[in-house]
Amino acid sequence: MSNQSISAVSSSTTALLSCKCVRCRRGKMFKHSAFNVKQFMEMNDLCPNCGLRFEVEPGFFWGAMYISYAFTTGILIVSGVLVYFLLNDPEFWVYLVTVLSITFISIPWNFRYSRALMLYLFSSVSFDNKLSK
């Protein structure tokens, strides 16, 4: 793999993890921080940098529910296994409280990354190097 292709993969991954625009990798997808409990779901309609409409077709982000479901399932399994091993098979209520707390706390990131992955993996929009400068 050449340095150029490694750089392109790295910047694509960084842009995805930062929830940046898929086309220019500079504009923010969301208006507020994930830590803003009341407004973490507010998404920009258009990219502030290149003007890309994030909802590339009506109902596009409905597919993100499947990604979110997979994330939630993974979070439940991993947190359940961690509770089992770290707390030496505690009582049921400890599992329930711990796993549900971890799942509830992860909601903002689950929401954001499921939408970002949907846009990056399943849209016809691709990176435009001219817009990234």
Per-residue model confidence as pLDDT tens digits over 107-133: 999 999 999 999 999 988 888 777 666
Of residues 75, 67, 65, 71, the one with CA closest to residue 117: 67
What's the confidence (pLDDT) of residue 47?
93
- Which residues are CB-neighbours of 115 under 8 A, at least 6 positions away? 29, 43, 61, 64
What's the confidence (pLDDT) of residue 124?
85
The reported pTM is 0.82
Average pLDDT, integer, range 96-111: 93
Cα(111)–Cα(41) distance, rounded to whole angstroms? 7
Average pLDDT, integer, range 68-88: 92
What's the confidence (pLDDT) of residue 9?
47
- Which residues are CB-neighbours of 98 under 8 A, at least 6 positions away? 79, 83, 87
Is 52 buried (19+), middle (13-18) or exposed (0-12) by CB count in 10 A?
Answer: buried
Q: Which is it for the CA torsion 59, 52, 36, 64, positive or negative?
A: positive
The larger pLDDT score, comparing residue 30 to residue 130, is at 30
Structure tokens at 53: 């409409």
Which range among 53-62, 71-80, 86-95, 120-129 has the greatest average pLDDT? Answer: 71-80
What's the confidence (pLDDT) of residue 1?
47
What average pLDDT is seen over the chain?
A: 87
What's the confidence (pLDDT) of residue 132?
64
Helices then strands, each counted (H, E), the chain: 4, 0
Q: Is the pLDDT of residue 5 over 50?
A: no
Q: Is the pLDDT of residue 105 over 90?
A: yes
